[in-house]
Structure 1
Amino acid sequence: MNDSLSFGGASAPIFAAHPGYRRMFAPDALTLGIFLPLRFYQGDMQVLAGQSELVSAIDRYGFAAVWVRDVPLFDPSFGDAGQVFDPFTYLAFLAAKTKTIALATGSAIFSLRHPIELAKASATIDQLSGGRLVLGIASGDRPVEFPAYGLEHGKRGERFAQSAAYFRQLLQQGRPVIDSPLGRIDGADFLPKPANGAIPLIVTGSSGQSLPWIAEHADGWLTYPGPTHTRQGPQRLAEKIQAWRAMIPDGGFRPHMSNEWLDLVEDADYPRTPMHGGYVLRTGRKGLIDLLEQWQEAGVNHAALGVQFSQRPVAQVLQELAEEVLPHFPSHPGPAPAAVSW
């Protein structure tokens, strides 16, 4: 496959004109995104009230992306219902509330949903947003969801790979001819096609695949960062990224992403301190900037930050991130989203 973003190359790469991808990713640089929800659901939907207005502010501040979760069923043992809303329906709503920010899933569960439904929702949002959709995809980590769909949890890796291949074939120009364990198509067309010819597929974790498979088939890789309060974590992350990039068949650029849940305190000098068993990082902005610089040096191209655990008001945290952290890691200029007249 020839999905690499190669600046100044002889041939136009597949994502060179993709507004969402280009806003988020460039070699040797890191941008910032915000993970939703901004506050966790804890039994009352009112906790999400006003979130879309804050997403509009995130867009105006100039962040590269806003991320939504895909959590079909709430498993109390996980303690996290995501943003509660269906991710595709919600992204369509947010597309109308924003202008330039990339709309990203982190991550759409490709092993649970049929690829036709995934492709239909994704291409629709891509068109409605003028080409801003970046699709993080995963095989699913909540065993309770699989029997509810009539699927085997143990076969999710195989189904994930089949679904990703089927999805890509659907979005190609011309009538697709598909013969897959997930279905057959011959003589029917798929509409709509993406606004810019393709939708980036960012694989999350291993998704039941080998590292060579991810290097060959993914348009990017999202992994958890490991420890974030010492330099050893970013160093190990760098080794992982280097091993993956060494396997990319054409040697072209593929972006790497990571994420962290923050409790950003007012004291700018507060040291990076792991909380909740290392799941959350409590820090001041100087510690956060230092971490992000280490990630950038390690080869990370985008950092998705979750502020759900921050004890301060969300609007205050977002403003500090925008004013004090974002200038160090600005979003990339690139093609403007297509004019939307639907």
Structure 2
Amino acid sequence: MNPTLNGASAHAFAHHPGYRRMFAADRLTLGIFLPLRFYRGDMAVLTGQAALVSDIDRLGFAGVWVRDVPLYDRHFGDAGQLFDPFAYLSYLAAHTRRIALATGSAIFALRHPIDLAKAACTIDQLSGGRLVMGIASGDRPVEFPAYGLDHAERGERFAEAVNYFRQLLHKGDHPIESTLGQMSGAQLLPKPVGSAIPLLVTGSSRQSMQWLGEQADGWLTFPDATENILGPRRLAEKIRAWRESIPGGGFRPHVTNEWIDLDANPDFPRTAMQGGYVLRTGRKGLIDLLGEWQDAGVNHAALGIQFCQRPAAEVIQELAEEVLPSFASHEGPLPLRQDW
């Protein structure tokens, strides 16, 4: 078996437009999680979403996130954003110019690494180097038997897929030996715009903290409680433990997310809703939370506005005008060619 390829520190992505748009040490940027409204049995709920994503890009947000939910399990919950994440990011790449395009998260334990790498490198090229990949081992048990896979083996398959994926991105023709396949005398094309695509591991993905420290280009975790300072303090401890496990130190980004219901009253207090799954707050409370996350070591916050009672366009505009200036996106290198 080929040797494991470790995660990379920030200098490896110094010229990566998507990574640099989102991440810098001791700073927090903002992204938006799609869909902007949940599917409730009618595809029309997604009408006009790409136009709003164009606005999100124009207004200066750092990233837009799409989810990977192959099958809808009505007992599990929502249907995700419905569209295949890679096909939809290709579509959004044509509607945007600067914003990072992020998966949150691509299920590496379900999809074969060749297919993952082919789709990822295609989007990276089409977008001029704007793809950032959140990756995960999968959390919907119904999907695994549908793929002919054992749910209990998802951790091992995930780690093997990460290694295989990274080898595919190397330039030239290099043999690959893996439990997921053997490749010789061939190579994957296209390659990414740069030397690699950032892989942000979601949660533990059934790996050890040592593995996460060695392998993850970044870490995406749930935020803990958000209605008061206690949750951000616990999150800070978790981030600190992960960064201490990174061999040789060096900066690697942390990402978290929250579903919010942004109240029109800017002073509305941070209030946990739906058992803590949703945070209802005015913009002042949101700004306080984002500042607490930044102090905790979070580098990017992906906000889902699916539960907002106000129109999506109105919420996006308020976030851009009142919140984004305190957590501005990084300029970084411009995307490369996008005239395909």
Alignment TM class, shorter chain as reference: over 0.9
CA distance in 1, matches of 2:272, 2:8: 37
**Residue of structure 2 in register with 1:113 after alignment:** 111
C-alpha contact 2:136 2:158 (8 A) present in aligned 1: yes
Instruction: Classify the secondary structure of the residue corresponding to 2:81.
Output: coil
Instruction: Classify the secondary structure of the residue corresponding to 1:14.
Output: helix
C-alpha contact 1:225 1:260 (8 A) present in aligned 2: yes
Q: How many angstroms does 1:2 deviate by? A: 6.8
Instruction: Classify the secondary structure of the residue corresponding to 1:56.
Output: helix
CA distance in 2, matches of 1:147, 1:3: 33
**Residue of structure 2 in register with 1:92 after alignment:** 90
- Which ranges of structure 2 fall in alignment gaps of 5 or more residues? 1-5
Q: Which amino acid aligns with 1:92?
A: S
Structure 2 counterpart of 1:220, from 218, 221, 230: 218
The sequence identity of aligned pairs, in percent, is 70
Q: How many angstroms does 1:79 deviate by? A: 2.1
Structure 2 counterpart of 1:73, from 71, 74, 85: 71
1:1-342 to structure 2, matched below 5 A, reads 1=6, 3-5=8-10, 13-342=11-340
- Which moved further from structure 2: 169-178 or 107-116? 169-178
C-alpha contact 2:7 2:217 (8 A) present in aligned 1: no
Instruction: Classify the secondary structure of the residue corresponding to 2:32.
Output: strand
Which TM-score applies when normalising by structure 1?
Answer: 0.97
**Over 3 Å off, 4+ runs:** none
C-alpha contact 1:135 1:202 (8 A) present in aligned 2: yes
Q: Deviations over 1:238-270 (max 9, x none)?
A: 000000000100201000000000000000000
Q: Deviations over 1:284-339 (max 9, x none)?
A: 00000000000000000000000000000000000000000000000001100002
CA distance in 2, matches of 1:166, 1:176: 12
CA distance in 2, matches of 1:217, 1:244: 11
**Residue of structure 1 in register with 2:3 after alignment:** none
C-alpha contact 2:7 2:215 (8 A) present in aligned 1: no
CA distance in 2, matches of 1:99, 1:214: 32
Distance 1:147 1:17, change over 3 A: same
C-alpha contact 1:2 1:250 (8 A) present in aligned 2: no
CA distance in 1, matches of 2:288, 2:211: 32
Q: Which amino acid aligns with 2:35?
A: P
Q: Which amino acid aligns with 1:283?
A: T
C-alpha contact 1:138 1:204 (8 A) present in aligned 2: yes
Q: Which amino acid aligns with 1:267?
A: N
Please give the root-mean-square deviation of Cα atoms over the aligned residues, in Å.
Answer: 0.7
Q: Which amino acid aligns with 2:129?
A: G
CA distance in 1, matches of 2:247, 2:184: 31
Q: How many angstroms does 1:174 deviate by? A: 1.4
Which TM-score applies when normalising by structure 2?
Answer: 0.98
Q: Deviations over 1:23-72 (max 9, x none)?
A: 00000000000000000000000000000000000000000000000000
C-alpha contact 1:263 1:309 (8 A) present in aligned 2: yes
CA distance in 2, matches of 1:2, 1:303: 21
Instruction: Classify the secondary structure of the residue corresponding to 1:215.
Output: helix
C-alpha contact 1:261 1:308 (8 A) present in aligned 2: yes
Q: Which amino acid aligns with 1:4?
A: S
Q: Deviations over 1:169-216 (max 9, x none)?
A: 000111131100000011111100001111000000000101110110
C-alpha contact 1:127 1:195 (8 A) present in aligned 2: yes
CA distance in 2, matches of 1:133, 1:152: 29
**Residue of structure 2 in register with 1:10 after alignment:** none
**Residue of structure 2 in register with 1:8 after alignment:** none
